Chains A and B, each alone.
Chain A
Amino acid sequence: MKRLILALLLAAAPALAVTPDEVLDDPALEARAREISKELRCLVCRNENIDESNAELASDLRVLVRERLVEGDTDEQVVDYVVGRYGEYVLLKPTTTGANLILWITGPALLLIAGWVGFGYVRGRRKAPDASATGLNAEEEARLKDLLEE
């Protein structure tokens, strides 16, 4: 009995991500399907794309993507179709519309600001500063010198 239960558990173990019966015969179409799959999120998984996921829903989505491709949809049309059905939550690469602009612009904008501040700082450091900047007294300066020259 116990063996039977274990055997059932094994049988219930999830399938591989992409299973052989899902693969399309046309390699070009299949390659496109794989690329699209990598950008679509498995809705019931945690941060997995449907290409890698073992979940049943991911498998359904993979089949759906392939069906659309076989029917002649372009890549964008397939993605739009899936987004239309499941919402933008399926997109692992967020769109650049609306508030998402903040997300996309953060990097370049911060880099510009940081670059500008950094440039200003470096330019300021070309001039000699005033003395006694460390706030150390003479004794501490001597000890510091002692330590660093070791």
Chain B
Amino acid sequence: MIVELGHFALVLAALVAIVQMTVPLVGASRQWPGWMAVAEPAAIVQFLLVAFSFGALTYAFVTSDFSLRLVILNSHTAKPMLYKVSGVWGNHEGSMLLWVLILALFGACAAVFGGNLRSSLKARVLAVQSAISVAFYGFILLTSNPFTRQGMPVPMNGEDLNPLLQDPGLAFHPPFLYLGYVGLSMAFSFAIAALLEGKVDAAWGRWVRPWTLAAWLFLTIGIGLGSWWAYYELGWGGFWFWDPVENASFMPWLLATALLHSAIVVEKREALKSWTILLAIMAFGFSLIGTFLVRSGVITSVHAFANDPERGVFILMILAVFMGGALTLYAARASAMEAKGVFGMISRESALVTNNILLAVASFVVFVGTIWPLVAEMAFGRKLSVGAPFFDAAFTPFMVALTAILPVGAMLPWKRGNLRRTMQPLWGVLALSIAGGALVWVMQTGGSMLAPVGFVLATWVTLGSLVDLWTRTGRGDLSSKLRRLRSLPGGDWGKSTAHIGLAITVFGVSGLTAWESEDIRVAYVGERFEHAGYEIELREVHDVQGPNYIATTASMAIYRNGKEIAVQHPEKRVYPVAAMPTTEAGIDNGFWRDIYLVIGDRQSDGGWAVRTYVKPFANWIWAGCIVMGLGGILSLSDRRYRIAAGARQRKSNATGVPAE
């Protein structure tokens, strides 16, 4: 019964979305307040309906309702509760329901918190947002209905969720990614609404920034979670594979990062308007392309769990309609967006333009690399692969350039700057970074330049960001500077924090890649072996029965200078229902290094194949992602974003808050 109600609620939500897509749009163009006002309640009702529908599907998974086909295919009674819940979105149909749930959530948020938007702009934003929803409701109801019943006979048990997905890291990876992907739909809706309105002003820039920031924040966390999961689950400690599905989330991230920065220019300086609009369209466009790549299975990859051509064509149509429509509208209207701000060649504005060029071209390089096998096969009849070595070579230079100019660009003044004056507080930092890099190079006794360069850039960005923060406190003695440091706006703190997060990740990636060491051998129970200054002892190996798997578990002790520092239990698991093996590495996490142990097959002479890795600075990669996310949160907390709340406050209190 609940399942039927959920299905019904989904159909109702689609109908509400059709109303929300049309009525406010007509109202906005005719200036009929009553029609425009429909958008707000419609957005809220739509969200409640989808939320109910999603709840109903979750209920079906939790209670293992095997009359639903989706539950049979993706669940099992023996599965732990966490994975019963995450199983809701661990499949194609359910994940699309999550997608529309988040679309509706963002729409409802815009309806509730967008109190200060022009009524016509708000009506248009909500209508465009709803148009995207309508397309995806159609997609779900016509091609991927999660509520399809299984005819008689109903099986006694399900076929289990893909074991690789039964992991806490991956359980929450898709919701975060979707919050990011779909969050960019808000920026898209704002861009289209602005094109329909025919004007983009500083307030538009300010409105669109928190939405982009939120989307970027979720994407950062989602990508970080995915990469962390790959690191500990796939069994050899890789953290990024340039897999098409990873690229699908990375391209929107790069463009969202560019959009974040260009929207600042719109807000502060009323320039770069039409570029920012285009970027907002493209960022969401890449989200849709990502969805297409993943959902259609057009480029086969580890994650593609739906490869039904019908679905692929439907998403391609959604992509074509929205991107085609948006770009046509853009072509017709963009010329009306004249820039207002004037600035010189050396200025914050031009630094941000450079940032945007690097990020946009980098994301396009990733895009071309991702689709090239497809293009080469269709257009040139060549069957080829584009893998990590290509991306490492073609993408890395952009990141090097970006981090190299970052501290200078971040400190250049608006309008017109002076390179010499901006560099003044930075020379010391630059010298220190280069000296540090030289030291690193000497210490590793030559070899790859990767780690020294990574070290220089990371130190340069970190110290540069701190100098930036410190110079913002102005003149005066230490105590007054410290006092002012505390009262700096959230945006300033967020900026420096996010930049430092980037530096930490850059350092983690280069340190791990350059200094990782590995040992492969046959180990015997009770025997110790040495690797990279550690001694490893294989103590015992035995079979274990898990809730829905069986495993071969090893007990391995790690010694340093003869002292035991850790005991790890790497595992080899088999999930009988899905008939699929997985490896669970034993990882001794540390600040400076991870020790990563993997147990393999039993050898004919009674030994066990064992791999031991020492991975320096591995955790820095994800720590950097967390710090970047923290920067995003700090920026979001900036009170300048809460214009509506501020306006209300001012009414109740005539003296108000002091001007900034």
Residues of A participating in the B interface, judged by any CB pair closer than 8 Å? 5-7, 9-10, 13-20, 23, 38-39, 41, 46-49, 52, 54, 87-94, 98-100, 102-104, 106-107, 110-111, 114-115, 118, 121-123, 125-130, 133-136, 140, 144, 147-150
Which of the residues B198, B398, B600 comes within 8 Å of A15, measured between beta carbons? B600
Contacts of B522 on A, CB cut-off 8 Å? 20
- 18 A-B residue contacts at CB 8 Å? A6-B550, A9-B550, A16-B601, A23-B520, A46-B301, A47-B242, A92-B386, A94-B390, A99-B379, A100-B376, A107-B364, A125-B271, A125-B339, A133-B270, A135-B198, A136-B199, A147-B203, A147-B647
Asked whether any CB of chain A lies closer than 8 Å to the CB of B486, the reply is no
Q: Which residues of A contact B358 (CB under 8 A)?
A: 111
Any A CB within 8 A of the CB of B572: yes
Interface pair A46/B300, CB less than 8 Å apart: yes
Q: A133 contacts which chain B residues (CB < 8 A)?
A: 270, 338-340
Chain B 380-394 near chain A by CB (<8 Å), digits 1 or 0: 101111111110011
Return B131 CB to nearest CB of chain A, in Å. Answer: 24
Q: Do A150 and B361 form a contact, CB below 8 Å, given A15-B601, A129-B342?
A: no
Partner of A99, one of B382, B395, B543: B382
Task: Say which size band chain B's interface belongs to.
Answer: 35 or more
Binds A, one of B3-11, B365-373, B435-443: B365-373
Contact yes or no, A126 B343, CB < 8 A: yes
Residues of B within 8 A of A140 (CB): 201
User: Which of B28-36, B217-225, B344-352 contacts its partner?
Assistant: B344-352
Contact A94 B601 (CB under 8 A): no
Given A23-B520, A94-B386 in contact, is the A118-B609 Cβ separation under 8 Å?
no
Check A99–B380 contact: CB distance below 8 A: yes
Asked if residues B343 and A150 are in contact (CB atoms below 8 Å), the reply is no
B600 touches A122 (CB 8 A): no
Collect the chain A residues with CB atoms within 8 Å of residue B601's CB. Answer: 13, 15-16, 19
Determine if B300 and A147 form an interchain contact, defined as CB atoms under 8 angstroms apart.
no
Q: A98-B380, A126-B342, A130-B338 are in contact. Are A16 and B520 (CB under 8 A)?
A: yes
Interchain nearest-CB distance for A33 vs B (Å) = 12
In the complex, the number of residue pairs spanning A and B with C-beta atoms less than 8 Å apart equals: 195
Cα–Cα, bound, A149→B203 (Å): 11
- B361 cross-chain contacts in A, Cβ below 8 A: 107, 110-111, 114
* CB within 8 Å of A: which B616-660 residues: 640, 643, 646-647, 650, 659
Is the beta-carbon distance between A103 and B369 smaller than 8 angstroms? yes
Residues of B within 8 A of A122 (CB): 343, 345, 349-350, 353
Cα distance A90–B243 in the bound complex, in angstroms: 16
Contacts of A10 in B (CB 8 A): 543, 550, 552, 572, 574, 581
CB within 8 Å for A47 and B302 given contacts A122-B349, A133-B340, A144-B202: yes
Contact of B389 among A93, A129, A150 (CB under 8 A): A93
Shortest B616–chain A CB gap in Å is: 18
In the assembled complex, the Cα of A28 lies from the Cα of B387 at a distance in Å of: 25
A49 to B387, Cβ gap below 8 A? yes
Tell me if B301 and A94 are in contact (CB < 8 A). no
**Which of B385, B397, B643, B647 lies in contact with A94, CB distance below 8 A?**
B385
Contacts beyond the supplied A9-B579, A93-B390: 20 A-B pairs with Cβ under 8 Å: A5-B576, A6-B574, A9-B581, A16-B235, A17-B611, A18-B520, A19-B600, A52-B236, A92-B390, A103-B369, A107-B361, A107-B365, A107-B394, A107-B398, A110-B361, A110-B364, A111-B398, A125-B271, A125-B342, A133-B340
